[in-house]
Amino acid sequence: MELEGLYRGRLIRRYKRFFAEVELLEGERAGEVVTAHCPNTGSMRAVCVEGCEVWLSPSDNPKRKLAWTWELIRLPLDPPGADGRREALVAVHTGRANAHVEAALQQASVSVLHDMGLADFARLKRESRVEVLLPGNDTPERSRLDFQMWPKEEGAASIYLEVKQLTLRESDGHGYFPDSVSTRAQRHLASLAALVAAGHRCVLVFCVAHDGIEDVAPAAHLDPAYAQAFAQAQAAGVEVLALGMQITLEESLSA
């Protein structure tokens, strides 16, 4: 997956969740301040750092209200005054996570996919709608999961995958999800657990879009209900996989 022609800038501010004010730093438009779409509805805790370098992708679609989309940010990993200066690139566009995971599945390019038996399948469907009976409910609840996979083995139950992009790196150096309270993410865990109980295999995929993160965990300090639901889902048989997103600055975001 590649994004060509990214423009470098400096983040001035993010506002109203969906907008980012950016000063362009290169090319004929250097110094111009533009408004970019922020394709991330989360809190962007520890990611939305004003003054940091960012990269935008342009669009010439006349139907779009904003011609720019915020794609990447470069963040410091060390506190001010520390010896040296480690930095990390972070992909903020949450829509890229599913494309990254799909490419990894289709290309079977990651060894852990082979280890987990996820590299050889007959068909892969995006955004699969399911009906699940959650604990405490009398009627099934509709849910939508990111992928449904059918194994080549005849008669084998399908596999459901739910993808979560992870960008939060706390000061302890660990990666966490979610970056704020997310009842939607809690419901997804309950749906996966219910599908496992119905005989399916389910995998929660953390797409790690921060190249300074080496391990991940549920963010109990931000969303204790999610951490509890995560533990319950694992106990019910939901599998967990963390996939790193390789981020480069050769005018592309590569998987």
Task: List, for residues 76-119, the tens digit of each pLDDT value.
Answer: 998 766 666 889 999 999 999 999 999 999 998 889 999 999 99
Residue 2's pLDDT band (cuts 50, 70, 90): low
Q: Does domain 94-244 have CATH number 3.40.50.10800?
A: no
Q: Does domain 7-76 have CATH number 2.40.50.580?
A: yes
Residues 6+ apart with CB under 8 A from 154: none
* Domain spans of the chain, in order of start: 7-76, 94-244
- Which pair of structure tokens corresponds to residue 143? 């849910």
pLDDT for residue 249: 72
Task: List, for residues 135-155, the tens digit of each pLDDT value.
Answer: 878 888 899 999 999 999 888
Residue type (1 letter), 192: L
**Are 126 and 146 in contact, with CB atoms under 8 Å apart?**
yes
Distances (CA, A) of 78 to 75, 90, 115, 189, 234: 9, 15, 35, 34, 33
Residue type (1 letter), 17: R
Task: List, for residues 204-223, the tens digit of each pLDDT value.
Answer: 999 999 999 999 999 999 99
Mean residue pLDDT across the chain: 92
- CA angle 159-164-166, nearest 5°? 145
pLDDT of 252 strictly over 70: no
Residue type (1 letter), 213: I
CA 23 – CA 11 distance, rounded (Å): 7
